[in-house]
Amino acid sequence: MTPELMQDNARRLEEYQFKHVQAPASGGRSAAFSRIHTPGELDLAHGRILYLEDVNVSFDGFKAINHLSLDIGVGELRCIIGPNGAGKTTMMDIITGKTKPDSGQVFFGSTIDLLRHNEPEIAQMGIGRKFQKPTVFEHLSVFDNLELALKTHKGVTASMFFKLQGEQKDRLGEVLQTIRLENEVTRQAGNLSHGQKQWLEIGMLLMQDPKLLLLDEPVAGMTDQETERTAELFLSLKGKHSLMVVEHDMGFIRQIAEIVTVLCDGAVLAQGSMDDVQQDERVIDVYLGR
Ligand code: ADP
Ligand code: MG
C-alpha cells in the first residue's frame, strides 16, 4: 500500500467508525464511551424491539413525519413501502439518531430511550444501518473490509493493525458464508459486482452483531439474480436479528414480507399482510396504482 492509500483508508475508516461504531478516532475508548449514560440492558420482555409513538418532525414548516406510531417485534422482518417523500428515510434518520424529532417517543426495547442518545451511541447499542449506496473500502480485500468492521473500540491506527481473536475469526467465517462471499475473500472490494458490494456492506454490519438492522432500498440497482439472493439472505437473518427493510421492488417485498407497513405523508396509511395492503384502496391510490 502506498502512503496515500494508507491515509485514504485511515480517513475512510474514521468516517465509517463514526457512522457505524462508537469507536473514537483516537484516544481509545474513553471519549465516546463516557458519553453513554448507563445505556442499560436491552429489555425485550414485551416482545418488541422498537417502538415509535406519535413522532413528529418538521423541516421548515413541512411535516415530514406526522404523528407516526409503529412498533416492530423481536426477530421480525418488517417491510416498509410507500411513495417517494413519504418519510421512510427520515424515519430511519430518527431511529439512528441522525435527526431529532420535534416530539414523540422512540424506544429500543422497552427501556432504552433512543432520543437520549447520539448516532454513534445508537450504533454501539446494536442498531445497524445500511444506506442505499455501498460504502465499502474499495482498495481493501473482502476479508479486510470485514475485519475493519469489527467492534474493536480501538483507534484508527490500532484498528488497521488489529489481529483477530479466535471467536472473531469464527464470526468472520460465518459472515462470509451468510453473505456468500466465501470464494471472494482475497478479492479487492472495488472489483466486486454491485450486488456483492451491497452484501459485503451488510456483512460489515453483521460483524458488529446488530440487534436491529435498517436497510434502505437494498436491492436498488441489483440484477434479478442478486435480488433473489438478497431475499434469501434477509430471510436467513430474521429471527437472529430484527430487520426493517424499505424497498420499492414489489416482487422482492412479496418474497420476504410478513407484515408490510405503508407510509404516506409521514404516517402509517395501512399495515398488514402483502395481500391486505395490495388490496387496500388507499394504498392502490397513493402508491401501487390501478
Ligand atoms: P422517502 O424516503 O419516503 O422518499 P424522505 O424521508 O426522504 O422520504 O423525505 C420525506 C420528506 O421530507 C420529503 O418531502 C423530503 O424532501 C423532506 N426532507 C427529508 N429530509 C429533509 C431535510 N433534512 N431537510 C428538509 N427536508 C427534508
Ligand atoms: Mg428514501
pLDDT for 277: 96
Entry pTM: 0.85
Percent pLDDT > 90 in the chain is: 73
pLDDT for 36: 42
* Ligand 1 centre distance from Cα of residue 172 (Å): 36
124 is a domain residue: yes
57 is a domain residue: no
pLDDT for 150: 80
pLDDT for 12: 67
pLDDT for 18: 57
Helix (H) or strand (E) run with residue 35 in it: none
Compute the distance between CA of residue 41 and CA of residue 60 in angstroms, rounded to an integer. Answer: 37
pLDDT at 23 over 60: no
Compute the distance between CA of residue 161 and CA of residue 65 in angstroms, rounded to an integer. Answer: 43
What protein residues have CB closer than 5 angstroms to ion ligand 2? 88-89
Q: How many CA atoms lie within 13 A of 273 on its CB side?
A: 2
- Around ligand 1, the residues with Cβ closer than 6 Å are 59, 64, 82, 84-90
Measured from the alpha carbon of residue 131, the closest ligand is: 2
Average pLDDT, the chain: 87
pLDDT for 14: 66
Predicted confidence band of residue 198 (pLDDT cuts 50, 70, 90): very high
Mean of pLDDT values over 123-133: 89
Taking each helix axis from N to C end, the angle separating 194-207 and 166-178, rounded to the nearest 10 degrees, works out to 150
17 vs 237, more confident:
237
Q: What is the dihedral of CA 2, 162, 243, 16, to 10 degrees?
A: -40
CB 133 within 8 A of CB 140: no
- Burial-class residue 50 by CB neighbours within 10 Å (0-12, 13-18, 19+): buried
Give per-residue pLDDT as tens, 26-49: 333 343 443 343 446 899 988 999
106 is a domain residue: no
259 is a domain residue: yes
* Ligand 1 centre distance from Cα of residue 129 (Å): 17
Give per-residue pLDDT as tens, 258-280: 999 999 999 999 999 999 999 99
pLDDT for 35: 39
Give per-residue pLDDT as tens, 47-58: 999 999 999 999
20 is a domain residue: yes
* Ligand 1 centre distance from Cα of residue 90 (Å): 6
211 is a domain residue: yes
pLDDT for 52: 98
pLDDT for 131: 83
Which residues constitute the domain of residue 192?
3-41+74-98+117-288
159 vs 280, more confident:
280
Residue to mutate (ligand 1; options 89, 90, 100, 215; most atoms within 8 A of CB): 90
pLDDT for 169: 83
256 is a domain residue: yes
In this structure, the strands spanning 48-59 and 103-108 are antiparallel
pLDDT for 22: 45
65 is a domain residue: no
Return the CATH number at 238: 3.40.50.300
Predicted confidence band of residue 19 (pLDDT cuts 50, 70, 90): low
Query: Which ligand 1 atom minimizes the distance to the CA of 266?
Result: 10
pLDDT at 233 over 90: yes
DSSP state of 185: T
Q: Whose alpha carbon is nearest atom 13 of ligand 1?
A: 85
pLDDT at 151 over 90: no
pLDDT for 165: 75
pLDDT for 30: 40
* Ligand 2 centre distance from Cα of residue 96 (Å): 14
Give per-residue pLDDT as tens, 182-195: 999 999 999 999 99
- Looking at the 3D structure of the chain, how many domains does it have? 1
